[in-house]
Amino acid sequence: MAHKFKYFLIFLFILLFVMVAISIYNLKPPSSPSQGFWRLVRKPIPKSVNEIKMDRLTKWWRGWHRYVFHFKIDEEDLSHILNSWPFQEIRHFKYNPETSILSWEPIDFKGSLELPSSKQLYNIGPGESVPEWFNLEQWDSPKAYKYMIRSDVHRFRLLVYNKELGEAYFIDYRTQD
């Protein structure tokens, strides 16, 4: 009987080790903008996507992260990203650089139970700043799409596209509240 218990403990130890190794790999932040795009936005990366820039703020011990991607993309390839998540188009999208607040309302606001929403993207504090390439406030009437999940965590994804420039922002935001 003791012999079976010993094998059972070894099996539990191996199982626990494998689970911890997988968790550490999944929590590890991407090492490059391309790797981040591949892991968080779309795999495979659409052919026209280039000049990927990434900003990240992760605090895994507090259970949240924020990734901001900026990239060039052809309008045809934008559908690959839009179809990879259940995005919904939003309207009246606005970014206020003074407060770093993104605000929007759903496309069918009048008949919807969903209310206008907002999120603070950058909480400028010690050691944090908006990247030089982040110029969303200069975009006039971009197309914007959101994907939001509420569960034990709040998962928010936003895709903003400027057709004239052929550029997009993808924001992946996860928080406990």
Residues 28-82 have pLDDT tens digits of 566 788 888 888 888 888 899 999 998 887 665 555 778 889 999 999 999 889 9
What is the model's pLDDT at position 98?
A: 81
Please tell me whether residue 71 adopts helix, strand or coil conformation.
strand
pTM of the model: 0.74
What is the model's pLDDT at position 105?
A: 75
Up-side HSE of residue 58: CA atoms within 13 Å toward CB? 13
Please tell me whether residue 90 adopts helix, strand or coil conformation.
strand
What is the model's pLDDT at position 116?
A: 65
